[in-house]
């Protein structure tokens, strides 16, 4: 296998200037059209690191994506996963300067241009691709390998996109990968936002759990306060999901609904 590995770590950002100039992403392909979903982003840093090229960008002023990329050539899946681990360590070091890495999303993109045709390439590398996308060094059962390719997408005869939980693999002779990478980075930012919301709601619910004599009874007044607090947390969080650039500006909503 030969190509480019782009490993990303996404965190919730702190201290990103909400008024900083953003760069609207311009897709390179004319179709299919997903322009309404493409985010604006701000390049925060770009440099050559010890393990590869490092690029840091904020997505919607609320999330930071650290991209670390390096080329690979005829590497087995185990060696490629070791390379991914090194890139991940470097990305984590950078991400810590922008926000907490306790809540994060890690995702790898394997970008392939060197192949004759897709069918012969897959016949040769099907198991390795499944191992990479599932982040598994051990052999994978045949039905799991099949399931890895079940959601593969082809737009042109000789390109393919395969997406799994831990990574994606792109086959494209023209080397046009930025569209797919940007959309999946946005999906990871939305996923981490939903995980953060889930954590907030869980903590709010835990605050009002009581066990009076093992019966779990809560008085009407405390129940009313609990429900208002949970609803206000959910409302403020959903507003932040829709307008993440105004994170922190919705505290008044939380106060008004929760008091």
pLDDT at residue 4 is higher than 60: yes
Structural domain contains residue 101: yes
Structural domain contains residue 201: no
218 with 139, same domain: the answer is no
140 with 29, same domain: the answer is yes
Q: Which residue segment(s) compose the domain that 83 sits in?
A: 2-189
- Residue 2 and residue 79 in contact, taking contact as beta carbons nearer than 8 Å: no
Number of domains making up the chain: 2
Structural domain contains residue 98: yes
Phi-psi region of 60 (alpha: psi -120 to 50; beta: other; left: phi over 0): left
Name 26's Cβ contacts closer than 8 Å, sequence gap at least 6: 38
Instruction: Identify the band that residue 154 occupies on the pLDDT scale cut at 50, 70 and 90.
Output: confident
The Cβ of residue 27 has, within 10 Å, a number of other Cβ atoms equal to: 18
Q: Which of 189, 222, 250 is the last residue of a domain?
A: 189
Q: Which pLDDT tens digit goes with each residue over 193-217? A: 888 888 877 776 776 665 444 445 5
Structural domain contains residue 55: yes
User: E-strand spans in 13-62?
Assistant: 23-24, 40-48, 53-59
% of residues, the chain, pLDDT over 90: 41
Structural domain contains residue 128: yes
168 with 105, same domain: the answer is yes
Task: State the average pLDDT over residues 215-242.
Answer: 61
Task: State the average pLDDT over residues 97-117.
Answer: 93
Determine the Cα–Cα distance for residues 217 and 13; give it in Å rounded to an integer. Answer: 40
35 with 141, same domain: the answer is yes
131 with 83, same domain: the answer is yes
Structural domain contains residue 249: yes
Task: State the average pLDDT over residues 75-83.
Answer: 90
Name 188's Cβ contacts closer than 8 Å, sequence gap at least 6: 8, 10, 65, 105, 107
Q: Which of 156, 189, 222 is the last residue of a domain?
A: 189
Q: Which pLDDT tens digit goes with each residue over 13-71? A: 876 766 666 666 666 665 555 555 566 788 888 988 776 799 999 887 789 999 999 99
For the chain, the average pLDDT equals 80
pLDDT at residue 101 is higher than 90: yes
């Amino acid at each position: 296998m030969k190509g480019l590995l782009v490993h990303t770590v996404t965190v919730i950002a702190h201290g990103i200037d909400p008024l900083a100039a953003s760069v609207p992403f311009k897709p390179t392909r004319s179709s299919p059209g997903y322009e309404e979903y493409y985010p604006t982003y701000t390049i925060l840093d770009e440099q050559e690191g010890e393990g590869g090229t490092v690029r840091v960008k904020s997505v919607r002023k609320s999330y930071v994506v650290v991209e670390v990329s390096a080329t690979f050539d005829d590497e087995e899946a185990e060696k490629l996963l070791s390379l991914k681990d090194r890139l991940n360590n470097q990305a984590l070091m950078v991400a810590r300067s922008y926000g907490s890495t306790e809540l994060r999303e890690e995702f790898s993109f394997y970008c392939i241009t060197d192949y004759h045709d897709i069918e012969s390439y897959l016949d040769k590398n099907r198991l390795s691709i499944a191992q990479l996308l599932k982040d598994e060094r051990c052999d994978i059962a045949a039905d799991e390998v099949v399931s890895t390719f079940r959601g593969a997408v082809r737009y042109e005869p000789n390109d393919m996109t395969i997406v799994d939980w831990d990574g994606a693999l792109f086959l494209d002779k023209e080397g046009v990968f930025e569209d797919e990478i940007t959309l999946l980075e946005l999906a990871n930012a939305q996923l981490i936002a939903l995980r953060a919301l889930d954590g907030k709601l869980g903590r709010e619910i835990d605050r009002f759990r009581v066990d009076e004599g093992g019966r779990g009874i809560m008085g009407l007044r405390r129940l009313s306060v609990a429900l208002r607090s949970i609803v206000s947390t959910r409302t403020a969080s959903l507003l932040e999901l829709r307008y993440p650039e105004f994170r922190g500006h919705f505290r008044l909503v939380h106060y008004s609904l929760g008091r």
